[in-house]
Structure 1
Amino acid sequence: MTHIKFNQSPLPRTFGGFVEDILNGNFNKVVKDDFLTNDYFTTHPPVNIVETPEAFILDVVAPGFSKEDFKISAAEKTITISAEKKEAAKNETDKQVRREFNFKSFKRSFSISEVVDANKINAKYENGILKVTLGKKENKQDAPKEIVVE
C-alpha cells in the first residue's frame, strides 16, 4: 500500500516532440535542455522516500540553502516543502567579471496518508540535504474482547 505519492509537474515537452527531437539528431540538445541545466535540478530537487515502521523519511537534495530558507507546511493530506534563497546585495564598486552563482527557489508537494501524525513531523538540514521525518500514528488496537453467546 502506498502512503506517500509524488506529485510531479508535467514536462514542458510533449512525448511526440521529445521523440521527434531525438529522431532528427538533436539528442544532445534534448538532454542538455531538459536534464543538465541548473533549472531542472533547482526547480525539481531529487527526493528519496524511505518507510520505516515508525515513520516516512524524505531526503531532499538542496545544496546552497540555509535552514532559514526552507518552509514546510502540512495541510489536510499534503505536505509542501519549499525554499527560496535571497540574493546577496551586490557591491556596486566592484566590477563583476563572471557570475555563475545563481540561486533559485523550489516547491514540492507530496500526498500523505492518514497514518502520518502531523504532530510528529520534524525536519533537519545538514550537508545540503533536508531530512523531513513524518512520524506515524501509534497503531493502538483495542484489547481483545470476549463475546458471550447467550
Structure 2
Amino acid sequence: MFTSQSIGGNTPHTNFDARFRQQGCSFGKKFGGRFGGRHPWMHKLQQFMNDSRPANIEETDNTFIISLYAAGLQKEQFKISLNEEVLTIRYAAPEDTAASRYIYQEYQPASFERSFQLSNKVLTNEIQAIYTDGVLKVTLQKNPETNKPAQEVPIS
C-alpha cells in the first residue's frame, strides 16, 4: 500500500545504494560492467517484455473492451485481424535510423503480437479500435444470441 512517507532526510530508502556499496557490492561488479549495458540476459528480458504487452479486458452489459498498453508507438504500425474467432493485434516496429544517437537506451519500440480467443461471443462485423494516450482500445460488441445471462444455482 502506498504511504505518504517523505523521501528526503534519513529514510531507509534514500541511502540504499550507498549502504549497498559499503557492504562490498555494486551493480557494476555484479553484472560485469555498467548497469544497464547490453548483456545477453537483458536482450532476452527485453524481448520477453516486448512480446507480452499488458492488456486489460473489461466487460460491460453490451461490450468487451480490450485495452492494450502500448505507449510511444505509432498508430499506423498496428494491424488488427480476425481469423476463425481469434482476434490478433500486431505491431510492426519501423526501422529506427536514430538508434545511434542514444548514449543510453532502456526501451525500444519493438514488434509484437497478441491474440485473443473470441469464442463466438462477439459480433465480428462491429469491432472498433482507437489508439489514444498510449493505449489501444478494441471494442467488441457482444453477440446477444450467444451471450446469455448467468444463472444462479440454488444450493440445497
**TM-score normalised to structure 1 length:** 0.60
Indicate if the aligned counterparts of 1:120 and 1:136 stay in contact, CA closer than 8 A.
Answer: no
Aligned position for 1:64: 72
Taking structure 1 as reference, are residues 97 and 105 closer, same or farther at Cα in structure 2, changes over 3 Å only? closer
CA distance in 2, matches of 1:118, 1:77: 8
How many aligned residue pairs are there?
Answer: 106
Indicate if the aligned counterparts of 1:71 and 1:83 stay in contact, CA closer than 8 A.
Answer: yes
The structure showing larger relative contact order (alpha-carbon pairs under 8 Å, at least 6 residues apart) is 1
- Root-mean-square deviation (CA, aligned residues, Å) is 2.9
Indicate if the aligned counterparts of 1:117 and 1:135 stay in contact, CA closer than 8 A.
Answer: yes
CA distance in 2, matches of 1:125, 1:59: 9
Aligned position for 2:37: none
CA distance in 1, matches of 2:73, 2:115: 19
How many percent of aligned residue pairs carry the same amino acid? 35
Taking structure 1 as reference, are residues 120 and 43 closer, same or farther at Cα in structure 2, changes over 3 Å only? same
Per-residue deviation, residues 21-54 of structure 1 (Å, max 9, x unmatched): xxxxxxxx9xxx59x9433321100010011111
Aligned position for 2:103: 98
Q: Which has the higher strand share?
A: 1
Alignment of 1:90-129 (within 5 A): 90=98, 96=101, 98-100=103-105, 102-129=108-135
Taking structure 1 as reference, are residues 38 and 57 closer, same or farther at Cα in structure 2, changes over 3 Å only? same
Task: Provide structure 1 residue ranges, at least 5 long, that are not aligned to the other structure.
Answer: 1-28, 141-150
88, 96, 100: which one aligns with 1:88: 96
1:137 to partner: Cα distance = 2.3
**TM-score normalised to structure 2 length:** 0.58
1:57 to partner: Cα distance = 0.4
Aligned position for 2:85: 77
- SS, match of residue 95 in structure 2: coil
CA distance in 1, matches of 2:129, 2:90: 13
CA distance in 2, matches of 1:46, 1:96: 29
CA distance in 1, matches of 2:102, 2:110: 21
CA distance in 1, matches of 2:110, 2:102: 21
- SS, match of residue 42 in structure 1: helix
Task: Provide structure 2 residue ranges, at least 5 long, that are not aligned to the other structure.
Answer: 1-30, 32-40, 147-156
CA distance in 2, matches of 1:84, 1:97: 21
